[in-house]
Amino acid sequence: MKKFLRALLPAALLPLAFACEFPFPLDDVSEAAIYINYLPSAPYDTPVLQVAFADPAYGKPSPGTRTPSVNDISVTLNGRKAELSSDSFSDGNMLTAILQDCSLRSGDKIEVSVRSDSAPTAYASTIIPPVPVLGSVTMDSVPEDSTQLRFKVKLDRSVQEGEFFGVRILEKNTLITASLMGEGILYKGTSPSAFPPMPVALQIDTNEYYTYKLPGQVATRDDLNSLDLDAFANADYNGYLTEEGINVTGPMMLLTHKQFDSDTYSFYVSRSSGFNWRILFPEGFEFPEPEMPDPVLPDEGETDPGEIDPMPPSVIVIMDNIDYVVEVYRLSEELYNYFKAQYLMRFNLLSNFGVTPPNFTYSNVSGGLGIVAGLSGVRTEWFHHPDNTEGKSIQEVLAELMSGIL
Amino acid sequence: MNSFLRISLTFAAAILTAANICAQDIERRDTLDTSYVTAVKEKMRNTTQTGLMRLDGDKLRSGVAVFGTPDIIKHLQMLPGVAAGNELMSGLYVHGGDGADNLFLLDGVPLYNISHFGGFFSSFNTDVVDNLDFYKSGFPARYGGRLSSVVDVETKEGDMHRWHGGASLGLIDGRLHIEGPVWKERTSVNFGLRRSWMDVITIPAIAYANRRNGDGTTARGAYAMWDLNGRITHIIDANNKLNAALYWGEDNLQAGIKDEEDDGLMDLGIRTVWGTLTGSLGWESKYSQQLRGKLLAYYTRSSSDVGYTFDLRFPAAGGGSSSMYWNDDNICAVRDGGLKYDLDWYPNSIHHVRFGAAAAMHGYKTVREYRQRNDFAGLDPEENSDEEGDRYISWEPAVYIEDEIFIAYNFTLNAGLRASLFGTKLKTWGSIEPRAALKWLITNTVCAKLSYTRMSQYAHLVSAMYIDLPTNSWMPSVPGAGPMVSDQVAGGIYLTPGKFKINIEGWYKTMNGMLSYNGANAFYPPLVNWEKSFTTGKGTSYGLELETTWSVPQAELSAYYTLSWSWREFPAYSMFRFPDHNDNRHKVNLVATWHPGKRWSIFANWNYHSGNRITLPSHVIKFEDGTSSLLYQAPYNAKLPDYHRLDLGVDYTVPFSGDRKLNINLSVYNAYNHLNASFAMLDTDSKGEYIGTAYGLVPIIPTISVGYTF
């Protein structure tokens, strides 16, 4: 039905095809304004402060000073002036700067003020919200759905109305690979016992990859039916809480007290395959039919056997270890609203057609536009993927692999 | 002459003498019978209120008929203090309200859905309408349950003396009306029926197109709406009268596509049925000369069923055939059963007390029924069915009392109080609503009024769009989305110099607990836990209305002007207040009626208002590489081009013997074909600069309707 509803969308927009369009003046829509973007967080991060001179989107650009300089910016932390780092840089009308030696804590009040000769002074403030206190966080498999992992985040107390949270989940993929050197024949199967003798030359590498997953809900039919995307409301957040200092933009699930069951929020993550044997096939390779005899040969009548020529696998993954960290954030109300607006901008396709509530970027900057909003976060220890519970060490896996190959 | 009549006559005479202004509606009659005195008191009581406009059925039936059908809601949209919202829709945004906060009563029974065809037509058949009271402020205590306005429609009692009726055919619908005595001077009936006839054309047209297509793919589509109004009146005796009323209206939309080949079939369809059913039984009694009462029992239901089906049949690999079928019905319904008892008491010439009680049970349902059947060759058929959704039962008792007090020679006060409760299994709310209206007759041609009212609304329309869709549903207040409350102060000066009537009214209104959809799906708001997708906020509206009318027997000219502001404060949208979607700063309506002869009537309406608000990117940040980033400063930061439209109408009547006559109405909507902007989007010109591009959808629409009255 979801597809059907999606198919209806063009039909609903059909009147556009017959609409008569005509330009109309928008010169009075806006005047030049200062834009501020600053999302200070505690306790790990040192986010950047972005300030820009925003021209009216319509009409003539404003004369006068364009890009703000560091001297135009005043940042105070709990009433005391905070210094901006000297290594700020400009890109067009935007200035990017970092606060110097600025370690933030819960309850800190940050005020940002930017003056300009050609636009009204912009001002905004925020207070770093308290760091959420975790009661417990658990991970388990979902018996009824083998493709999902379920996480249950329990706070130390019930969530109240007016409190806003965010959840991110970071996946660490530890990949130990063996690169094959020399010629070989491709055999299908992922079990070591299926491997025939292969060339000896192997290079063992260990790499760690970090990916933020979407900590969403399992879509029930209700969700599909109503397309209740609010259950999946998320926004990209570029910050980090990991000890490793990984700074990766990742989706943050947005939560209010409505999504919590008192003090608990449960979410699901698409389960990555962990701890299995895999062969990374050359790009363009197509799997042979199941009944094809080994070694793989092209189908009868294939006109372009080159595409499925037996090729040696470039890499054998001998261990794929997956771990997760859950990050729980407490968001200031203005940050929640800002993120929610960003989310709606992406998904509410019919908005701004005059028939639904509007799409726009939330702003809490008086005299200008943009966002100054604080957050704080806490992270869990690493959760090991359930499939890792076979309990084999890397050495054991390696030995098994070698015995199969060699 | 008994004491009540004496008192009443004294009361009426005093008022008539003191001030025939504000009592301008009083009809002068030669005989002062009891009903006349009652009528005088009724008029006087009504005119104490601010923001009240009474329209009679004849006026509603005449004038410009868009698509050939007179429409009550489109008539109300022209009045000052009312924003129409999206063009052609039956939106009614009164004093900054949000459109779902108007109390529609049909013979005292609340209606939840008042439009057909997604809002193009209202549900009220003007053939059977006797009169309509429209309150924008100064709400009497007997009304409650909605924030912004009351539209109290009374249907006609059937003629007790003779049978008569009429039939008409318009551009998209046909109407039939008949009334008369079943038992002369004791029992009468009045029935009105409307039905659209577009499907009479579309069904064969699509069938013809399918035949010409001939590739095995067939489309189907049909839309029809109909409604039936009926009223039976029985006079038991001089003191007792029974009324039974029925309204039943439905819309039916079916569409689909079927692809049939030799060895398989794919059929995808949608079937949507939505409508309203109300029934009531009223008993009016005169217990004494001082006390009258009306007992009303009613049932009202508004429901929709949006269903999808998918049927796939295909040959199986090993022979035989396989099939997949699913059916999905999304059902929204609200049902009310209620009892009202209203009493009118005239204890003396100073007081007219109205008091009463009401109790209603509401049932709300949003349910999805799902059925699936897979029948693959060689395997056992697999069937699944499920039902999910929310159901609520709530109860709502209310009591009220209001007293129309003739304080002094030139002061009248209508003071009232309404108290109500609303409970579900989740929570119970209560509301105390004071109401007061004061009238000061300054001179014979000038009076002033002042009113204060508090209104509360427990039911919410769960809708993601500003237009009526069958997917919209009504839901009760729940924790997280509680009742809405409005407070409104209104006042005005009312003058009647000569043939003119001039009203100047101002209002200030606040609304708390307003809801706005804050989700990403515009088509289908959530079926379960709906409140999670809504955010709450406040509204403020204030403005000034000017209403002038010049009338002579052959012509009437009215000019309405509204200067208004409508603001919203939704913390989830902005830290600062922002204009409402329908914040039309200026609104002008000119209405002209001219009867140059017995056969001709000419109508003209000119409508103007400042453009509706829209949200467009307001700022741009430019980067060194030539790219740019667009930003929004606030919601509804831009205004569409001003809206203006001229409608013309001509009635030509061909009289026959007796009361029989043929009426031809020619109406032209948007006579000078000005395409008004329905929405706007961002665009770039040839220089790469951003410009706004507005889109107009509704051109000139000429229509003709022919009616026969007998």
CATH code at position B23: 2.40.170.20
Query: In Å, how far is A136's CA from the nearest CA of chain B?
Result: 25
A245 pLDDT tier (thresholds 50, 70, 90): low
- Residue B637 contacts A, CB cutoff 8 Å: yes
pLDDT at site B187: 96
Q: What is the mean pLDDT of residues A234-260?
A: 76
Query: In Å, how far is B199's CA from the nearest CA of chain A?
Result: 19
d(CA A39, CA A42): 10
Of all residues in chain B, the percent with pLDDT exceeding 90 is: 55
The residue in chain B having the minimum alpha-carbon distance to the alpha carbon of residue A24 is B692
A222 pLDDT tier (thresholds 50, 70, 90): very low
Q: What is the mean pLDDT of residues A74-98?
A: 86
pLDDT at site B492: 95
Of the ranges A66-75, B40-49, B313-322, which is most confident? A66-75
CA A216 to chain centre: 12
d(CA A393, CA B517): 52
DSSP code of A287?
P
Q: Which of A105-114, A300-309, B153-162, B639-648 has the lowest mean pLDDT?
A: A300-309
Residue whose token pair is 């009726």: B165
Tens of pLDDT, residue by residue over A143-199, are: 777 778 888 999 999 999 889 999 998 888 877 766 655 444 444 344 444 444 444
- Residue B391: is its pLDDT beyond 70? yes
pLDDT at site A387: 63
- Residue B587: is its pLDDT beyond 90? yes
Query: In Å, how far is B519's CA from the nearest CA of chain A?
Result: 6
CB contact residues (below 8 A), chain B span 124-163, against chain A: none
**Residues on chain A touching B571 (C-beta within 8 angstroms):** 333, 337
d(CA A228, CA A236): 19
Q: What is the mean pLDDT of residues B159-165?
A: 95
pLDDT at site B93: 95
pLDDT at site B120: 79
pLDDT at site A67: 82
d(CA A226, CA B533): 11
Contact B527 A354 (CB under 8 A): no
- Residue B218: is its pLDDT beyond 50? yes
- Please indicate whether residue A354 or residue B259 has the higher confidence score (pLDDT): B259
Compare CB distances from B520 to A22, A348, A362 and report the shortest one's residue.
A348
- Please indicate whether residue B159 or residue A356 has the higher confidence score (pLDDT): B159
**Residues on chain A touching B466 (C-beta within 8 angstroms):** 354-356
pLDDT at site B34: 45
The residue in chain A having the minimum alpha-carbon distance to the alpha carbon of residue B628 is A92
How many helices (H) and strands (E) chain B has is answered by 5, 40
Query: In Å, how far is B114's CA from the nearest CA of chain A?
Result: 18
pLDDT at site B277: 96
Query: What are the DSSP calls for B557-625, one per residue?
Result: EEEEEEEEEEEEE-TTT-SS-EE-TT--SEEEEEEEEE--SSSEEEEEEEEEEPPPEE----EEEE-TT
- Residue B517 contacts A, CB cutoff 8 Å: yes
Distances (CA, A) of B17 to A61, A67, B37, B325: 68, 75, 14, 77
pLDDT at site B679: 82
pLDDT at site A64: 62
The closest alpha carbon to A377, from A171, A236, A172, A168, belongs to: A168
Of the ranges A273-287, B155-169, B676-690, which is most confident? B155-169
**Residues on chain B touching A8 (C-beta within 8 angstroms):** 523
Query: In Å, how far is B401's CA from the nearest CA of chain A?
Result: 37
**Residues on chain B touching A228 (C-beta within 8 angstroms):** 519, 521, 526, 528, 533
- Please indicate whether residue A238 or residue B161 has the higher confidence score (pLDDT): B161
Query: In Å, how far is A127's CA from the nearest CA of chain B?
Result: 15
- Please indicate whether residue B505 or residue A105 has the higher confidence score (pLDDT): B505
The residue in chain B having the minimum alpha-carbon distance to the alpha carbon of residue A226 is B526
Query: In Å, how far is A232's CA from the nearest CA of chain B?
Result: 10
**Residues on chain A touching B255 (C-beta within 8 angstroms):** none
- Residue B51 contacts A, CB cutoff 8 Å: no
**Residues on chain A touching B120 (C-beta within 8 angstroms):** none
CB contact residues (below 8 A), chain B span 375-394, against chain A: 386, 388-389
pLDDT at site B371: 86
Picking from B633, B682, B686 by the largest number of A CB atoms within 10 A of its own CB, the best residue to mutate is B633
pLDDT at site A158: 94
- Please indicate whether residue A55 or residue B233 has the higher confidence score (pLDDT): B233
Contact B527 A333 (CB under 8 A): no
Q: Which of A201-205, B480-484, B624-628 has the lowest mean pLDDT?
A: A201-205
- Please indicate whether residue A319 or residue B556 has the higher confidence score (pLDDT): B556
Instruction: Tally the domains of chain B.
Output: 1
The encoded tokens of residue B50 equal 């601010």
B91 pLDDT tier (thresholds 50, 70, 90): confident
CA atoms in the 13 A half-sphere facing the CB of B419: 3
Compare CB distances from B522 to A356, A362, A366 and report the shortest one's residue.
A356
Count of residues making up chain A: 406
Contact A29 B616 (CB under 8 A): yes
Q: Are A128 and A42 in contact (CB under 8 A)?
A: yes
pLDDT at site A82: 87
A233 pLDDT tier (thresholds 50, 70, 90): confident
Range of the domain at B28: 2-709
pLDDT at site A218: 54
Contact A230 B631 (CB under 8 A): no
Q: Are A19 and B697 in contact (CB under 8 A)?
A: yes
Query: In Å, how far is A285's CA from the nearest CA of chain B?
Result: 28
CB contact residues (below 8 A), chain B span 196-255, against chain A: none
Contact B692 A58 (CB under 8 A): yes
Tens of pLDDT, residue by residue over B652-669, are: 999 998 889 999 999 999
The residue in chain B having the minimum alpha-carbon distance to the alpha carbon of residue A23 is B693
- Residue B7: is its pLDDT beyond 50? no
pLDDT at site B458: 96
Tens of pLDDT, residue by residue over B265-302, are: 889 999 999 999 999 999 999 999 999 999 999 999 99
Contact B521 A227 (CB under 8 A): yes
pLDDT at site B4: 42
**Summary mean pLDDT of chain B:** 87
A275 pLDDT tier (thresholds 50, 70, 90): very low
pLDDT at site B448: 94
pLDDT at site A404: 52
Q: What is the mean pLDDT of residues B673-700?
A: 83
Contact B622 A55 (CB under 8 A): yes
- Residue B325 contacts A, CB cutoff 8 Å: no
pLDDT at site A394: 57
Of all residues in chain B, the percent with pLDDT exceeding 70 is: 92
Q: Are B166 and B710 in contact (CB under 8 A)?
A: yes
The residue in chain B having the minimum alpha-carbon distance to the alpha carbon of residue A52 is B621
Q: What is the mean pLDDT of residues B60-80?
A: 85
d(CA B420, CA B432): 7
User: What SS3 state is found at B554?
Assistant: coil
The residues pairing with B266 across neighbouring beta strands, listed in sequence order, are B259, B312
pLDDT at site B24: 38
- Please indicate whether residue A99 or residue A227 has the higher confidence score (pLDDT): A99
- Residue B478: is its pLDDT beyond 80? yes
d(CA B47, CA B55): 13
DSSP strand pairing (B459-462 vs B473-476): antiparallel
The residue in chain A having the minimum alpha-carbon distance to the alpha carbon of residue B465 is A356
Chains A–B, number of C-beta pairs less than 8 Å apart? 241
pLDDT at site B454: 97
Of all residues in chain A, the percent with pLDDT exceeding 70 is: 57
- Residue B620 contacts A, CB cutoff 8 Å: yes
- Residue B556 contacts A, CB cutoff 8 Å: no
B179 pLDDT tier (thresholds 50, 70, 90): very high
B23 pLDDT tier (thresholds 50, 70, 90): very low
- Residue B70: is its pLDDT beyond 70? yes
Contact A24 B622 (CB under 8 A): no
Tally Cβ neighbours within 10 Å of residue A294.
Answer: 14
A85 pLDDT tier (thresholds 50, 70, 90): confident
d(CA B57, CA B155): 9
pLDDT at site B532: 78
Sequence-separated (6 or more) residues with CB below 8 Å from residue B571: A333, A337, B535, B537
Q: Are B364 and B474 in contact (CB under 8 A)?
A: yes
